Amino acid sequence: MFSTEPVLSLNQADIYQGGRIVLGDVTFDVNKGDFVFLIGRTGSGKSSLLKTLYADLWLQSGTGHIAGFGLEKLKPKDVPYLRRKIGIVFQDFQLFMDRNIEDNLRFVLKATGWTDPAKMKNRISEVLMQVGLGTLHKKMPHQLSGGEQQRVVVARAMLNEPMILIADEPTGNLDPAVGEQIMNVFQTINNSGTAILMATHNYDFLRKYPARVLRVEDGKVIEQGL
């Protein structure tokens, strides 16, 4: 049955960081196929909000659902299963530098329950194609540019076909032109139906890639009118 449930829904959520409330009364939905920018100053609480969504911080007050999991009633044992349903991309690339690209990706597949070598090989080829790096399987991370490494990280986040991709300043360490490549990859992924929630400092993106904007400011999250 086709589901119209939001992929992500927060309702009167309070976001805590280090025992202190950083965002209060946060309410918004992200639907299948949405592209949402999360903007706001450094220290405004963007990362704290995203961490709450992938259960690095607990939701202590209010309710939240993501990819079919209830955040307020989540148990530690649920966290790995939740993270299989969402893709996460950070600013720093976090590839294993001692193994090639294919082995980096295979490591994640094995860790998330894949066993069939042929299926793993197939899926690795698919995600590398998706980010435009179909020929780099055997390269070591240090042989890739920063932008290519970050595309591998995006490919890695897509391995288990997440319903939503959460990206925390994914272009923050990249040259502007390279950041555009990452944006193009995100657009492709989004066009195939995966929702994207992306924290960014780069206001040029808001002009070039019109999408929903959530602004984090003064302890609140506000939907910005178009």
Ligand X SMILES: Nc1ncnc2c1ncn2[C@@H]1O[C@H](COP(=O)(O)OP(=O)(O)O)[C@@H](O)[C@H]1O
Tell me which residues touch ligand X (CB under 6 A). 17-18, 22, 40, 42-48
Which parts of 143-208 fold into alpha helices (H)? 146-158, 176-191, 203-208
Nearest one of 79, 111, 80 to 96, comparing CA atoms: 111
Nearest approach in angstroms of CB 170 to Mg ion is 11
**For residues 48 and 194, which CB has a smaller minimum distance to Mg ion in the complex?**
48
The distance of closest approach from Cβ of residue 50 to Mg ion in the complex, given in angstroms and rounded to an integer, is 8
Minimal distance in Å, beta carbon 158 to ligand X? Answer: 23
Q: Which is nearer to ligand X, 23 or 86 (CB)?
A: 23
User: Applying CB under 5 A, does 181 fall inside the site for Mg ion?
Assistant: no
Cβ closer to Mg ion: 89 or 128?
Answer: 89
Binding-site residue total for Mg ion (CB under 5 A)? Answer: 2
How far is it, in rounded angstroms, from Cα 108 to Cα 160?
A: 9
Nearest residue (CB) to ligand X, 23 versus 136: 23
Residue in the shown chain whose Cβ atom is closest to ligand X? 18
Binding mask 39-58 toward Mg ion (x if CB under 5 A, else -) reads -------xx-----------
- What is the DSSP secondary-structure string of 68-126? TEEGGG--GGGHHHHHHHEEEE-SS----TTS-HHHHHHHHHHHTT---HHHHHHHHHH
Query: Is the Cβ of residue 104 or residue 171 nearer to Mg ion in the bound state?
Result: 171
Match 């148990």 to its residue by tokens. 75
Q: Which of 48, 98, 68, 83 is nearest to 156 (CA)?
A: 83
Q: Which of ligand X, Mg ion, none does residue 52 bind (CB under 5 to 8 Å by kind)?
A: none
Strands of the 8-17 sheet, one edge to the other: 20-30, 8-17, 61-66, 69-70
Q: Contact residues for Mg ion (CB under 5 A)?
A: 46-47
